[in-house]
Amino acid sequence: MWRRLIYRILLVLPITLSILLVSLFLFYQLPGLHVLDTREFQVGSDRELILNLRSQQERNPFADTRGLFYVGISPGYLPSNIYDIPMMFRSHFKSLCREVDNPEVMEGYVIWLEKQLQNLNSNQPGDLTVRQMVGLLRCSTKEELTTAKEFVDKNNSNAVFYNVLEANPDGNTPLVKLTWNGKQNIFHRYLEAMIIGEPALIASSGELVRHKFNRTILWTIAYTIPGLVVGWFLVFGFVLWFYDRPRWLDIVDRTTLFWYAVPTFVVATVALISLTSHRYGIISRTFPFPVFSEFDVRSLWDIYRHYGTHLILPMVLFGLSPMLLLYRIFIEKLQEIRSVQPSFRYLLHIGLSSRDFRWGYLSKYLGVASLAVLSNLVVSLLGGSLIIEWVFNVPGLGRYFYTSVVNYDVPSTIFLIVVFTLFQQLGHILADSLISYYYPSSQRSAGLI
């Protein structure tokens, strides 16, 4: 028991850190990050552009980081000072460096751009206006840089700009470079943010991530816990009551197999249209059309008091999936009992009452099956059903996670991924602990379960 638990606990940290690193890689290293970050720098006056540029830098606490991890492997054509380029323009700059293929020239270009940017931020006179600066930073190829000539006058102060256009590839450029980034890397900064809260993770809306998480988790718990608990009791009681009627259980199993195959989105949409549209009399009026406001509640009691009737349908639909899953697991365990143990009639014949078999033996066996999927139920409880929350507009964790991903809200997405990972691992540990505590190895070896 203890050996398995210790093994589980030791796995929590490396698994969580690995998932964190992979998630950061997907956001910060793969193409596409610059699209949403730079679209604000297309229109507006010079003052508006510099304010946008400053706000982008200030809003991103990781803008001054140097690489993704403690050790970095970068292409040889990149200059060592590439991290002085504003983060939202680095993808453009990397593409330009690939074409120029001369890190020495690009290093001088970065120094010149950084000087111009400092002049703009301090309102000192420089060679470029804000609009010209943004135009240069958005250039990804030499062709675009040539088109941007109109931004720059050819004089001694900005001759570095023309050096980039006229540069030839450096034949001695290494294929890759290995760098040590120290603690100034994105991975380490996110660890600090989630462990000690500095720097604070801020959602794209400007709200602290932990505040939004604390608010949205209440909405998810409000409908998921009742759905899971009631669903488990219904399935558990039904199987225990009809355990000796396999024909009935098989009929229900075939029926549930059909519903299990129907996508949740279809079921939720049909329920939303038919049951809340007031087209079917008292059936429709039983479930009011869901309209939620996430900011006027501070506790679960507020949610139930204001929106209790609106959550009944989401509760029912959310509970269907775990109910069907548990039912199929219980049926499988009953078939396993029939195949390896004496028949129910034989047990009754030798003096074991139906009540003792049902509650003293079968209930424990099915309890083990419930604990085996506990970790997955914990994740579904925390994450909610993304589809249910999206269809019924419930402002819970599932909807929060989806909107964070599609809107490139990196701090929120990373925070939620780590939280879900930790709770899944803790769910595994809890399930193993309960199984080992209630059903020790001596009982298993004796064939009592």
If one counts every other C-beta atom within 10 angstroms of the C-beta of residue 283, the result is 11
The C-alpha atoms of residue 404 and residue 25 are separated, in whole angstroms, by 16
Question: Same structural domain for residues 157 and 227?
Answer: no
Residue indicated by tokens 């000796």: 244
Give the SS3 label for residue 342: coil
Question: Same structural domain for residues 250 and 326?
Answer: yes
- Compute CA distances 265 → 53, 109, 321, 322, 386, whole Å: 41, 52, 12, 15, 10
| Confidence class for position 449, pLDDT limits 50, 70, 90 | very low
Query: Could you give the number of structural domains in the chain?
Result: 2
> How do residues 379-409 score in pLDDT, each as one tens digit?
777 776 788 888 888 899 988 998 888 888 8
Question: Same structural domain for residues 372 and 436?
Answer: yes
Side chain identity, residue 392: F
The C-alpha atoms of residue 443 and residue 439 are separated, in whole angstroms, by 6
| Confidence class for position 278, pLDDT limits 50, 70, 90 | low
CB 373 within 8 A of CB 326: yes
| Confidence class for position 328, pLDDT limits 50, 70, 90 | confident
Decide which of 151, 173, 195 is a domain's last residue: 173
Question: Same structural domain for residues 133 and 268?
Answer: no
CATH code (residue 272): 1.10.3720.10
Work out the burial of residue 329: count CB atoms within 10 Å of its CB; fewer than 13 is exposed, 13-18 middle, 19 or more buried: middle
pLDDT of residue 84: 87
Domain span at residue 356 reads 209-445
Q: How far is CA 341 from the centre of its chain?
A: 44
Q: Is the pTM of this model over 0.95?
A: no
Question: Same structural domain for residues 222 and 334?
Answer: yes
| Confidence class for position 212, pLDDT limits 50, 70, 90 | very high
Question: Same structural domain for residues 340 and 291?
Answer: yes
> How do residues 147-159 score in pLDDT, each as one tens digit?
876 666 555 456 7
pLDDT of residue 343: 59
Q: Is residue 410 part of a domain?
A: yes
CB 164 within 8 A of CB 106: yes
- What integer is the mean pLDDT of 153-170? 74
Question: Same structural domain for residues 140 and 282?
Answer: no
Q: Which two tokens stand for residue 362?
A: 């079968």
The C-alpha atoms of residue 230 and residue 235 are separated, in whole angstroms, by 9
pLDDT of residue 446: 39
> How do residues 281-311 score in pLDDT, each as one tens digit?
666 677 777 788 877 788 899 999 888 888 9
Q: Is residue 4 part of a domain?
A: no
Residue 79 has pLDDT above 50, yes or no: yes
Q: In residues, how long is the chain?
A: 449
* Mean pLDDT across the chain: 80
> How do residues 225-242 score in pLDDT, each as one tens digit?
999 999 999 999 999 888
- If one compares 129 and 194, the residue with the highest pLDDT of the two is 194
> How do residues 5-39 score in pLDDT, each as one tens digit?
788 888 899 999 999 999 998 888 765 444 434 44
pLDDT of residue 441: 45
CB 418 within 8 A of CB 194: yes
Q: Is residue 180 part of a domain?
A: no
> How do residues 230-277 score in pLDDT, each as one tens digit?
999 999 999 988 887 888 888 888 887 777 667 766 777 778 777 776
The C-alpha atoms of residue 49 and residue 391 are separated, in whole angstroms, by 38
The C-alpha atoms of residue 282 and residue 275 are separated, in whole angstroms, by 9
